[in-house]
Structure 1
Amino acid sequence: MVKKLLYIVLLAIAIKGNAQQTALLDEIKLSNYYRDKQLLCKIEDSELVKNYSFLVRSTSLYQNLSQLTLNNKLHLSSFQFSNNFQNNSNLPISYNDGNLQPAKGFQERYSIGANIKWKFIDLNIQPEYIRGENLQQEVFKGNRLDNNWWTRYFYSIENNIDDYRQLGRAPIDKFYLGQSRLGIQLDKFSLGVSNENIWWGPGQRNALMFTNNAAGFLHAYFQTNKPIKTKIGNFELNAIYGKLENINFTHPDDSVMKTIWPGAIEKKIESPRNIQAITINWNPVWMQNFYIGYTYVQQSYNADSIFNLSKMSADQNIMKMGSLMFRYVMPRDHAEFYAEIGQPNQTATPGHFFTDTVRTGFVFGATKLLLLNSSNSFIKLNVEVAQLQLMDPRQIFIPGVPFGPPQVSSWYASSSIRQGYTHEGQNLGASIGPGSNSQAISLSWHKGYNKLGIFVERLVHNSDFYHYAYLTGLLGYSRADAYWVDINGGVELQTSPVKNIIISSSLMNTHSMNYRWLKNVADISIDKFATPGIDSDKFNFQFNIAIKYIFNGAR
């Protein structure tokens, strides 16, 4: 009875608010509990978290931080059960929610897991089951005033990345390996095979290389279990070699393009893809609270593996990215600054950031904690900005041929690996996607695992495509008011009513202006700049509620 009343109270509070900051209780998000402890700088927590960079986050990191005992006997290190419920009223909005799909209607994820350790064996059994409605979405017909709009869309986006807004039309019913892994864990290092999500980067909402925006993928790993102390500072290392899967569904927009010009649809190689990545993070001995990191990622088609006699040329079968990142912690001020700067389709080295053809993307953020008089409670302010739009729009076009096919130069898109930087139809990197920008601010009250917060974000979708689609040779006749901009705002409530149980709920309100870069007007020649389009603005309410039980986790 008490649990039912608590559920109703949480639901009622959440419905009063509006957020993109969802309530889904995955271990990557819960690791922020320890990240905040690092800023609080309490003596009892200092040895536990002070040397961690938090530039790499995963289920294994959270379990290492929350593990209470270490011994060589066979023991259950942790046990968890979780249920996540999400519902989109109108639009297929999906951000940093793992294997939940971009879909309209409700989705539900169940997960049960146990972390078993014996001597050096580390076994985490944590499968996930997803079910959902996957309701029919509104048919999008493109720009009826521009006969080449769909061709430009396929040339720029669809042919170069699996940017899906719906994965098939059937109801969702699927099992995943989830956050499972099997490895050997020594004192400082561990290696094994895992399917868990990984997050590389200091950002709390976006990261350039890896986030939990897509489902976890099967990979071998070699990593440090804790910072390794040397004479010049502490080091963290994480290296993976994995397999990315393609999507088995037809893109929802293919049916439209086939009625216009089937030849514009580029056939994609169906071979699975290999991915290899490494990140090295350093905490210099002479700068105790400064963490700097480097990340390199490369993917290629499986058809070019050493076991296949049919080789592809390097320019046909490689996609690489890299980033440099830092995080500066100010424990006495209970604050931090962090940033990640990277480049698509090439290795990130300092010299590459100062060339004429630089295609830099970045994430920059800051967090400030304000301690309250009451024990262990504080106010948290976080501001984060991400930019993936090309800074020089000329890089979108082929020199001398501005009205022909574009250069494929946006983040996560590739003319060689035409699935782009995706796994099962969802982006592995920043959730905002190619060519997009985000400005977000959140304010929340915290006490342990209890939290009450509000959130606002402005998200501009793929301005690289927008500049390509609306280029015109007639000065003054282009569109300057059809950018696709989402305004997200909301509230999140999280509580731990009893030990080891966490309940969270959130409601996000999205006002999507000029949905999919389209502003419908009766007459473009007399259209006023600030006037909303005709039926081209969309709205969505996303409700999330989650419950998680963690044995030896929540304290």
Structure 2
Amino acid sequence: MNQKREYSLTISLFHTSKITGRVISCFLLITAGIVLLPLRQAGAQTIPVGDFRDDQVRLLQLLSDSTTEISFMNRPVSSERYQKVMQNYRPSDSWWARPFQSPKIELSKDFTLGFYEPVIRGTRNSDLPYGENNGAAWYGRGLNTEFQGGFHITSDFLDVSFRPHIIYQQNRDFDPPRFIPTDINRDIHYVAPGIIPEDSMAQRIDRPWRFGPDSYTTLDWGHSSVRFHHHDIELGLSSEPLWWGPGVQYALTMSNNAAGVPHAFLGTREPLELPWNIGRLQFRWIWGWPANSDYFTHLPVHIYRKKRFMNGLNIIYSPSFLPNFHVGTSRVIHQYIPDEGLNGTDYLAIFQPFPNPDEQVLNGFRDASHYQDKNALSSVFFRWVLPESNTELYGEFYKEDHNWNFRDFLMEPQHGRAYTLGAQKIIQSNRIDFVKINAEINSLIPSLIDDVRPQTYPYTHKRVKQGHTNRGQVLGAAIGPGSSSQYVGAEGYFSKGMVGLFVQRMVDNDHYHFEWNQRWYRQNGFKDLFRHQVKLNVGFKAKYRISDLLLGAKVVWNKHYNYGRHHYGRLPISWKSRYKDDIINMQYQLSLQYLFH
């Protein structure tokens, strides 16, 4: 495990060993065609999650009631929908209200070639890893550089897109946290920090605290897909990161915090009009194949290092009798692929009812993750846009696995739960265009039920050991299992750009804190109340448009209180040394994006 590697290369989807020079050359030649061939305007296939056009759509929903038919809870959003939103808004010279479209080159009567805006981004962490919602990238200590860009081919029935994500991670050394397992040579493992000896995180989730000892490069398919469409329905293959639910900072079930899971899908391209004018419906049904990180080493190999299969469904309903209101639900199920392969019921697993085990089973296990071979996650959510007051309210309620039966749900619905509550408000300004304020709270900390009934961590599982992850990163909320976040941010928009400030308090795996105290420190009196692992983030961000370029910058003061839990549980507390483990990390980020218009 401690063997040095000078250069590591990872490619997702079909686990190809390398990208050849011919592919790269072809990509460069196609890009050069922007300059050499006559161009017209065309919409791209879908808007990548996290792209600046994502922000444009959500902004305009708060400024105009003509665009609120988009739930924005089943992303990525189609480019057709993006163009409709931009066209419905009053003409403006401000960059946030201008439609940006890709040039296109006619390949034939039926097919046209378009381009994704190229993006270059550099991020540096001074002392510790810090970063989230950045797809296949993992921002370790040191310099992290990224490139995203590509092309798409569109027709009346087929769309093909190729937008890879290329990342170099310097991954410099930093002080490892406590509670990391070691081998017989006392070499540390690159796995999730443990909780308690008999039930460690390393045995329930594939989430390395660091991706090896050396720098490495990641080549990921990124926002790439092949999709067939007919009217408002589409199906195909994709590696796109998905975002299910209304959260602005975090999504509890599916987000772009990890590389997109290679998946097949069936879904809506545009909302479907339901009979009798009762509203609109959107959905996406996926069949995916998540991958392990290089550092998932759980034994025995023949059981826990099998390939996994993921089945997921996201449904959103927008009632016609309650304008601007959207409600939805999602369910995701993970399982190992049997030696004999998947059968028909595996592909339809999301429609299977929750099992109702008999009393003997209930007496032997504390939660569903102990007796179910499948890891089932589910959530319900809503988003209510109030354009008259330039406001939106949203929330999500998440369940890890499920209750034993309906009676159990009525008794303890908060068992294994997580939640998000948030709001956005636009305030008009005389000096600039407007100010957008966002406040969001997220909690993945198990409830107080844990005092009388043990609970599993969100995104972890006793049987499916990798948990809800892909290539070592959580597919849901970036804060991770057992954590919570409180976020407040303000962004001021003007004709050429945006400036913003945010403050966030994030408690890292606080469930860890209470589990240790409950099980190992039985003495009377106060226990360890000063060593919660808390991160305080204060950040400044900005965007500025210069001609066809969009410049971005971000600076984050990222303080880790009680980093690594090095003195956790050591009582009595020394008042003079309780600040010893605090570390300040500074993150600096610059980005450059070319704009087509």
Query: Do both share a fold (TM > 0.5)?
Result: yes
Matching residue of 1:245: 291
SS at match of 1:36: helix
| Contact persistence 1:153–1:465 (CA under 8 A) | no
Q: How big is the shift at 1:536?
A: 1.0
CA offsets per residue over residues 495-526 of structure 1, 9 Å max, x none? 22224x322110111111011334479x8336
In the TM superposition, what whole-angstrom CA distance separates every residue of 1:128-175 from its partner, at most 9, and x where no partner exists? 2111211122144459xxxxx967167231111112121122311121
Structure 1 residue 493: Cα displacement: 0.5
Q: 1:416 aligns with which of 439, 463, 478?
A: 463
Of 37, 48, 51, the match for 2:69: 51
Shift of 1:429: 0.4
- Check conservation: 2:325, 2:383, Cα contact below 8 A: yes
**Which residue matches 2:506?**
459
Q: Which amino acid aligns with 1:75?
A: T
In structure 2, do the counterparts of structure 1 residues 347 and 538 end up closer, same or farther at CA, with 3 Å as the change threshold? same
Matches within 5 A, 1:305-316: 306-307=341-342, 315=371
What is the alpha-carbon distance in structure 1 between the residues aligned to residue 544 and residue 245 of structure 2?
27
Deviation at 1:444, TM superposition (A): 0.8
Residue deviations 1:531-554 (CA, integer Å, cap 9, x gap): 6625311111111111222435xx
Q: How does 1:8-27 map to 2 (within 5 A)?
A: 27=49
* 1:502 aligned onto 2:550: yes
CA distance in 2, matches of 1:84, 1:516: 29
Q: Which residue of 1 aligns with 2:312?
A: 277
The answer to whether the Cα contact below 8 Å between 1:208 and 1:342 also exists between their aligned partners in 2 is: yes
Q: Which residue of 1 aligns with 2:330?
A: 295
Counterpart pick for 2:419 among 356, 362, 367: 362
Offset of 1:342 from its aligned partner?
A: 1.1
Aligned residue number for residue 113 of structure 1: 150
Counterpart of 1:483 (choices 532, 555, 558) is 532
Residue 98 of structure 1 is matched in structure 2 by 135
Tell me what 1:39 maps to. 62
Relative to structure 2, which stretch is displaced further, 339-348 or 125-134? 339-348
* 1:381 aligned to which of 413, 437, 458: 437
**Distance in 2 between residues matched to 1:360 and 1:496, nearest whole Å:** 42
Q: Deviations for 1:393-424, whole angstroms, at most 9, x for unmatched residues?
A: 526x8x6xxxxxxx561100110111111100
Aligned mates of 2:405, 2:279 — CA distance in 1: 22
Q: Is the Cα–Cα contact under 8 Å of residues 202 and 327 in structure 1 kept in the other structure? A: yes
SS in 1 for 2:515: helix
Q: Who is 2:591 aligned against? A: 546
Letter in 2 for 1:515: Y
Runs of 5+ consecutive residues of structure 2 not aligned to the other structure:
1-46, 84-99, 181-192, 347-368
Aligned to 2:78: 61
**Alpha-carbon deviations, 1:368-403, whole Å to 9, x = none?**
00122468x2100110000110112526x8x6xxxx
Distance, in Å, in 1 between the alignment partners of 2:401 and 2:450 is: 17
CA, structure 1 residues 219+526, in 2 after alignment: closer, same or farther (shift >3 Å)?
closer
Q: Give the length in aligned residue pairs.
A: 490
Pick one of 373, 393, 398 that aligns with 1:317: 373
- Asked if residue 164 in structure 1 is aligned to residue 208 in structure 2, the reply is yes
User: Secondary structure of the equivalent of 1:123?
Assistant: strand
Distance, in Å, in 2 between the alignment partners of 1:194 and 1:449 is 34
Determine the C-alpha separation between the residues in 2 that align with 1:154 and 1:492: 43
- 8 A contact 2:559–2:585 mirrored in 1: yes
Identify if the C-alpha distance between structure 1 residues 174 and 348 changes in structure 2 by more than 3 Å, giving closer, same or farther. farther
2:478 is the alignment partner of 1:431: yes
- CA gap 1:349/1:232 in 2 versus in 1, 3 angstroms: farther
> For the Cα contact (< 8 Å) 1:191–1:220, is it kept in 2?
yes
Alignment match, 2:91: none
The percent of aligned pairs where both chains have the same amino acid is 24
CA–CA distance in structure 2, aligned partners of residues 222 and 305 of structure 1: 25
Higher relative contact order (CA 8 A, sep 6+): 1
Q: Which amino acid aligns with 1:366?
A: A
Of the structure 1 ranges 471-480 and 124-133, higher mean CA displacement relative to structure 2 is found in 471-480
Structure 1: unaligned runs, 5 residues or longer? 1-24, 144-148, 255-264, 400-406
CA RMSD of aligned residues (A): 3.2
Tell me the amino acid that sits aligned with residue 57 of structure 1: R
Distance apart, 1:450 and its partner CA: 2.1
Indicate how the Cα distance of structure 1 residues 342 and 351 shifts in structure 2: closer, same or farther if over 3 A, else same. Answer: farther
Q: How does 1:201-240 map to 2 (within 5 A)?
A: 201-230=245-274, 231-240=277-286
Q: Match for residue 286 of structure 1?
A: 321
For residue 220 of structure 1, report the CA deviation from its aligned partner: 0.6
| Alignment-mate amino acid for residue 132 of structure 1 | Q
Instruction: Work out whether residues 92 and 165 of structure 1, in 8 Å CA contact, stay in contact via their aligned partners in 2.
Output: no
Change (3 A) 1:543 1:305: farther
Helix, strand or coil at the partner of 1:496: strand
Equivalence for 1:178: 222
Structure-2 separation of matches of 1:449 and 1:159: 50
